[in-house]
Amino acid sequence: MGNKKALWTALPLAAALLLSACSSGGGSSAGSGSPSDTAPASPPAASGSASAGGSAQQGAVTITVLNEGAVGIGAGSIDQLLPQKKAALLKDETLKPRVQESDFDWQPGQPANPNLFGYFYQKIISEKLKSQNISIKTEDWGWGEPLIQKETAGFLAKNVPDIIVGETQMPGFAMQGLLEPFPDDMAAEIRDNIAPAAWKPMEVDGKIYGFAAQPGVNSLFWNKKLVREAGIDPDKAPQSWDELLADIKKVTEAGKGKFYGGGVYAGPNAGGYLRYGPLLVINNGGFTDANGNPAFNSDANVKTVAFLRELNKNHPPGLMVNPTEGNYFDAFKKQQTAYIIDGPWRASESASLGIDYGMSPIPLPEGGAPGNITIGAAFNAVPKDAKNKEAAFAYIRAMYSDEIQQLIADTGVRSPVKKSIAESADYQQKHPEMYLHYQAMNGNVQGLPTFKKEDSKVWQIFGEAVVKAIMTGGDIKGILDDAQAKAEAILK
Amino acid sequence: MASKTLKLKPGHLFGHVILLGFGLVLLYPLVFMILAGFYTKEEFMGSILHLLPFPQHPTLENFKALIVGSTDSAVAVYLRNSLVRTAYNTFWAVLTSFLCGYVFARLKFKGRDTLFLLLLATQMIPGTIAIIPTYLEFARFPFFGGNHVFTGGTGILDTWWVYLIGGPAINIMGTFLVKQSLEKVPSELDEAAKMDGAGTFRIIFRILFPLQLPIVAFIAITTALGTWNDFITPFFYTNSDSLQTLPSAITRQSSVAASPGAVINYPLIITLSLGVTIPALLIFFFFQKYIVQGLANTGIKG
């Protein structure tokens, strides 16, 4: 009898404890100041506070940072990963160029083996933070959709790393109030010294919420071999849309079904918007008006979509609007298409595949103005629920340090964002193509907008309208008007 | 003695040809995958593949990576983790199904039928709904991962406990099948064994269990296949490479494609996919009799 009573007493108690564990006010956020093994001695940075720039923690701190493919060397403690990575790089026979022991003697200002970029990146940041008693542990949450889902689950459970990373989802996180704004002094330093492409898309209501060490903007690339076969000068970049379209048509004619002129990926997804979006922007159109409301059916956009329709005729059927963007880039890699608009990594990737490529800024249409959309910008941000915010901001400071930006410059795969490095005479002389890319990052550079409501639905409406306009002979203005009306109805 | 000649009717011949054709069509993707697994990443990206893609510079690296690992030590564990998880979950599924089925079939206690109906009712809840609550449960697991009681740490997320605790759930359908099956076995058998001095566990495992081998085989096979193909658990609740299984590893490798400038390793992904597909095919091929029998039993009323 006594046992039964004890059981019936214990059961509700256990249930109450379990229910409280599942409550959202679990108090795990750093804001609550709950102690942990790695808690910083100073309180978490509050919005707008002028916390000291990257000051050392009183005790040793380990921050957890999400991996980004371009700079990742594995998941775990950086101190342990570095020697493992070095050994793996030396052993890997598939790398081009092969990694030699002497490559690890790189000094700033000298060319760096691109295959060592991640190694040096992590080494430099790790050493900078060690001097502040901060060590780094990385985790790999994947990329693209898997990363977005994991980050969303992490936010819901208030169980997120000290630094998260991402692309198109990051401005949305900032607008939802999930991220910590940069301290004022750090934000001022970034605005004065860094190209806008690295932070502008992450600026919300005048505060910066994220930073990308080596963002990209779109450029035009072409396969010189295919272009030469069409009788076009492979070293001359097209200067206008008309010239570009004419060249593309010539390549398609010369290809006779074996290869095509190509152009730009226009699938109904972020990969498409990021790539044909610059064409909308430089033709004085875009996705939104000045107030952030959809502006799909402007006259300028109608002209751009008409241009896309012409480009579509120079692709294998269905390729340009294929829902899977990988198929489009595979065609360029397999030398089935000649022209492509893509981020700066297209250069190194083409080189590694043995494609002789040309690169230039995207040509302007008649009456157009320079502009671009950031692409491949892996924004690093500090979640509001991060446990070690000051140490996390110290990590971000290291990302725009001279050492890291010089490494980016010396590797030659992307361009640095720090003005003192990128605008130096030395950089302009050594990396003329990447300097053009840097200049493009300083102009009218935008990120993909996040709509006020039902963001993914509004984008889907736009994407499908553009695909319909490209694939059918329908009235482009009518199709875009219809999309505009649907988007406005959702956002009312 | 007159010789026997096999007469093949034209109708049968036509049927055989059609079936052979369908068989080749169904077999083709597997053949393609096996051949593609011999490509290097660079050759795969740089060539236009034909119907039967024979590489010019074949390599065994992808198959080596699948079975014994490679320079990337993470790949070595995918197959091992899949095998361990599958064996572990299958063992617990069989054990819990049989024990629970015995309880509901043989024991009489207050609320038995109501409890059984409640268990069956949980089958109507889609698994997707449970993902976030389960995530929270793992994150708040008391005293694990830096949790002071329920908060402050990461609980059992990204640890083997996700598989050890999250794996052996009560297999409701298995319980149902065992219950249905045991109800057809006369209880006099249990009584006779009791009179001979057998205890409860001896009755369950020595007398009743051998009689239910087809049902047990069905439960084992369906659990094994389900766990082998399970991607949600390692994907959502773990991050470390050392905890990934083959299905989640494929997602990881594929998501590299979304990373700007990455050259996706298609041959490795295809080989990992083979690692997921072939064991499942073999299990189904050799144990299909039990699967069909088990499916038939789900329709039989007690």
Average pLDDT over residues A408-435: 91
Architecture of domain A57-215+377-442: 3-Layer(aba) Sandwich (3.40)
Please name every residue paired with A294 in a beta bridge, in sequence order, or none if there are none: A288
Does residue B49 lie in a domain region? no
Q: Would you say A34 and A28 are in contact if contact means Cβ atoms under 8 Å apart?
A: yes
Residues A170-196 have pLDDT tens digits of 998 999 999 999 999 999 999 999 998
Name every chain A residue with its beta carbon within 8 A of the beta carbon of B139.
Answer: 157, 159
Tell me the C-alpha to C-alpha distance, in Å, between residue A65 and each of A76, A124, A166, A379, A382: 10, 15, 12, 12, 10
A94–B40: do the CB atoms touch at under 8 Å?
yes
| Binding-face residues of B in 217-276 toward A, CB within 8 A | 235-236, 239-241, 251-252, 255-264
pLDDT of residue A390: 95
Average pLDDT over residues B29-46: 88
Residues B114-163 have pLDDT tens digits of 999 998 898 888 888 888 888 888 988 888 877 777 777 788 998 999 99
Q: How many domains does chain B have?
A: 1
| pLDDT at B50 > cutoff 60 | yes
CA-CA distance, B213 to A406, in Å (whole number)? 68
| Assembly ipTM | 0.70
Min Cα separation A181/chain B (Å): 23
Q: What is the mean pLDDT of chain B?
A: 83
Among B135, B140, B260, the residue with its CB nearest the CB of A153 is B135
Residues A30-39 have pLDDT tens digits of 333 333 333 3
Residues A131-179 have pLDDT tens digits of 999 999 998 888 887 888 889 988 988 889 999 999 888 998 999 999 9
Q: Would you say A380 and A165 are in contact if contact means Cβ atoms under 8 Å apart?
A: yes
Does residue B21 lie in a domain region? no
Please name every residue paired with A222 in a beta bridge, in sequence order, or none if there are none: A339, A358
Tokens of B63: 């198959």
CA-CA distance, A433 to A438, in Å (whole number)? 9
Tokens of B149: 């009681």
Residue B221, C-beta contacts closer than 8 angstroms, at least 6 positions apart: B283, B284, B287, B290, B291, B294
Query: Which residue in chain A is spatially nearest to B136 when comparing CA positions?
Result: A157
Name the percent of chain A lying above pLDDT 70.
Answer: 88
CA-CA distance, B271 to B36, in Å (whole number)? 8
Tokens of A265: 């990926």
pLDDT of residue B65: 79
Q: Would you say A396 and A163 are in contact if contact means Cβ atoms under 8 Å apart?
A: yes
Residues B188-219 have pLDDT tens digits of 888 888 888 888 888 888 888 888 888 888 89
Report the CATH number at residue B279. Answer: 1.10.3720.10
| pLDDT at A27 > cutoff 60 | no
CA-CA distance, A221 to A337, in Å (whole number)? 11
B27 CB within 8 Å of a chain A CB: no
Tokens of B199: 């205890």
Among A76, A146, A156, the residue with its CB nearest the CB of B235 is A146
Q: Which of A33-37, A308-312, B12-16, B267-271 has the weakest average pLDDT?
A: A33-37
> For chain B, percent helix, then strand, then coil, each to nearest 5?
70, 0, 30
Among A70, A159, A343, the residue with its CB nearest the CB of B157 is A159
Say whether A217-375+451-491 and A57-215+377-442 share the same fold.
yes
Spans of all domains in chain A: 57-215+377-442, 217-375+451-491
Q: Would you say B181 and B297 are in contact if contact means Cβ atoms under 8 Å apart?
A: yes
Query: Which residue in chain A is spatially nearest to B40 when comparing CA positions?
Result: A94
CA-CA distance, B264 to A163, in Å (whole number)? 26
Report the topology of domain A217-375+451-491.
Answer: D-Maltodextrin-Binding Protein; domain 2 (3.40.190)
B214 CB within 8 Å of a chain A CB: no
Q: Cis before residue A97, ω within 30 degrees of 0?
A: yes
CA-CA distance, A448 to A231, in Å (whole number)? 37
Average pLDDT over residues A380-391: 95
Tokens of B223: 């659990």
Name every chain B residue with its beta carbon within 8 A of the beta carbon of A376.
Answer: 260-261
Residue A483, C-beta contacts closer than 8 angstroms, at least 6 positions apart: A296, A297, A461, A462, A464, A465
Tell me the C-alpha to C-alpha distance, in Å, between residue A377 and each of A151, A396, B107: 17, 14, 63
Does residue B18 lie in a domain region? no
CA-CA distance, B239 to A163, in Å (whole number)? 15
Name every chain B residue with its beta carbon within 8 A of the beta carbon of A152.
Answer: none
B239–A326: do the CB atoms touch at under 8 Å?
no
Residue A254, C-beta contacts closer than 8 angstroms, at least 6 positions apart: A226, A229, A230, A231
pLDDT of residue B31: 92
Residues B51-78 have pLDDT tens digits of 888 998 898 888 887 877 654 555 568 8
Boundaries of domain holding B71 = 36-43+57-297
Residue A330, C-beta contacts closer than 8 angstroms, at least 6 positions apart: B45
Does residue B98 lie in a domain region? yes
Q: What are phi and psi of A77, to 5 degrees?
A: -75, 130
Map tokens 């979006």 to a residue.
Answer: A277
pLDDT of residue A417: 94
Question: pTM, whole model, 2 decimals?
Answer: 0.76
